[in-house]
Amino acid sequence: GQQLNQSPQSMFIQEGEDVSMNCTSSSIFNTWLWYKQEPGEGPVLLIALYKAGELTSNGRLTAQFGITRKDSFLNISASIPSDVGIYFCAGPDQTGANNLFFGTGTRLTVIP
């Protein structure tokens, strides 16, 4: 199946530190998405990657689409308390269906 494995499962960092998390798959994905979910809310799209090797930034967030198409990473620079949440990677079903597969998430806690 098209499973996405995220690491680490959780992170506790001091405010101001940089954060790195990654997502790997045994299958090739043609699109990688990174979402953030805050308590009581649905996930919100942060960054979308459509091309192998692509490096995309959104403010303090930077994500890369791995050259093998089987991995992606997300970096957050100079973390702030509002970065707290669960970060999910996701990719579209490669069988032609229209749903997204989601990773199990990385829970980020930022200590002020």
Partner 1 sequence: GAGVSQSPSNKVTEKGKDVELRCDPISGHTALYWYRQSLGQGLEFLIYFQGNSAPDKSGLPSDRFSAERTGGSVSTLTIQRTQQEDSAVYLCASSLGGQPSNTQYFGPGTRLTVL
Give the residues lining the site for partner 1 (CB under 8 A): 4, 30-31, 40-45, 48, 50, 88, 90, 92-93, 97-105
| 42 or 59: CB nearest partner 1 | 42
| 66 or 105: CB nearest partner 1 | 105
**Cβ-contact 80, 110 below 8 angstroms:** yes
Q: How far is the CB of 8 from partner 1 (least distance, A)?
A: 14
Q: How far is the CB of 94 from partner 1 (least distance, A)?
A: 10
Q: How far is the CB of 92 from partner 1 (least distance, A)?
A: 4
